[in-house]
Structures are given as C-alpha cells and as structure tokens.
Chain A
Amino acid sequence: GQQLNQSPQSMFIQEGEDVSMNCTSSSIFNTWLWYKQDPGEGPVLLIALYKAGELTSNGRLTAQFGITRKDSFLNISASIPSDVGIYFCAGHPGSGNTGKLIFGQGTTLQVKP
C-alpha cells in the first residue's frame, strides 16, 4: 500500500537550533499535513498544504509541498523546550479521494534547554 517515509526518526537538539524534517512518497499526494503530538494527547494540526510548490508558515514553523507532489518538509526555527513532541506528516493520496489520510512514522524531537 501507499507509504510515507519520514526522516529523521528522532532528533535531539539544543534550544535555539533550527530543525528540519521531511517526508517522501513513491506516489503523488493531493495534500500534505503536518501534525504534532504532545505526550498523552492526540495529534494536533500544525500546517496544511494543498498545492504543489506551496510554502506556508505558522509562527516559527514553515512547511512546503514539494513540486513533484511526492514530498514535503517542515522546518522549525529557533527551537524552544515546548517544541518537544512527535511530529507526523500525513497526506491524501492522489488516486482519488477516499477520505483516508496516510501517516508517516513520526519524528521524535527532544530539545535540551
């Protein structure tokens, strides 16, 4: 079935550093979404991307929908301790809309104060 490959699997960084993570697929996606999950909570939407090439920012977060429609990245600038959590990419596959989201495996981010 369709899969999203998310990397890196985990990151341990110093507060103030920038972070970059990405997602790739072998097939086309219509939308790309980035979620964050805090411990003990459900994933919360950070950024949604709907067009190839789209670059969207949300505060210190920036995400892009790859021009090939097969990848996306998320950048976090000047990380702070509350950025800790698991970040998931997700997308709607291009082969018609079934309502179903495909999720990446997640990137666990730890920030050292």
Chain B
Amino acid sequence: DAGVIQSPRHEVTEMGQEVTLRCKPISGHDYLFWYRQTMMRGLELLIYFNNNVPIDDSGMPEDRFSAKMPNASFSTLKIQPSEPRDSAVYFCASSLALTSGFTDTQYFGPGTRLTVL
C-alpha cells in the first residue's frame, strides 16, 4: 500500500491568499483526520471524518478553515484567507474501524509544510 498521500509537501503563499491542502487516505480506511503541528502547540487535531462525514470539527481554529471529504479516497483542508499564524505542518492521517467498535491505530501522511508570508 502507498500509505497516506498528501500534497503539496511544501506550500509558500502570501497573506490573504487561499490555500488548499489535499489528502488521499489508505484504501479501505473508515476514518480520516487532519492535524496541525507547531513548535508552540504541538500536534493538534483539527477535524476528523468517519465514512466521509465530519464527526468532530471542534479543533478547527476559525471560520477561515474548512474541510471536505467528497468521497472515501479524497479530502481537502482549505484556509481562506490565510494568515502568517497559520504557518505550520499539516498532517492527514487515516485509520480503520475495528469490528469491536474501536478504531485501529492512525497512519500519518508525510505532511504539508505551510508558510504564509
């Protein structure tokens, strides 16, 4: 399996511009997670989906952030308009729901390093 795929790996943009991050989860996984990592705040969960439906978006910092999962093999995280404080590494992860009702371990993508100037 190719693992979780994220694109782009690096993104540099100017304040006010729209940014779209993309993720392809591992085939067959039921859950998809978006995280943000910074030195100050560590690894933060932004939002996660189960069977393409958003379950918990309480970690999304502001209305400028939105996430979609139109199908089981694709998700986007959009920031509009972007601000310098959004600079961080954004990770996508996916996992499989176990028959016991608990989710399996999460597998992370390589991340997108976002720099907003």
Contact = CB atoms under 8 A, between A and B. Distances in A.
Interface of A: 30-31, 33, 35, 40-45, 48, 88, 90, 92, 97-101, 103, 105-106
A18 to B, nearest CB: 25
Contacts, number: 52
A103 B105 CA distance: 12
What is the size category of the interface that chain B forms with chain A?
20 to 34
- Majority secondary structure of chain B interface residues (helix, strand, loop or mixed): strand
Interface in B71-117: 91, 93, 95, 97, 101-103, 105-111
Contacts of B103: 92, 97, 99
Contact of A92 (B4, B48, B102, B108): B102
9 contacts: A30-B102, A42-B91, A42-B111, A44-B108, A92-B102, A97-B101, A99-B31, A100-B56, A101-B106
A45 B93 CA distance: 12
Interface string B25-50: 00000010100000000110100101
Contacts of A105: 42
Nearest to A102: B45
A30 B105 CA distance: 12
A37 B31 CA distance: 21
A103 B101 CA distance: 21
B42 A42 contact: no
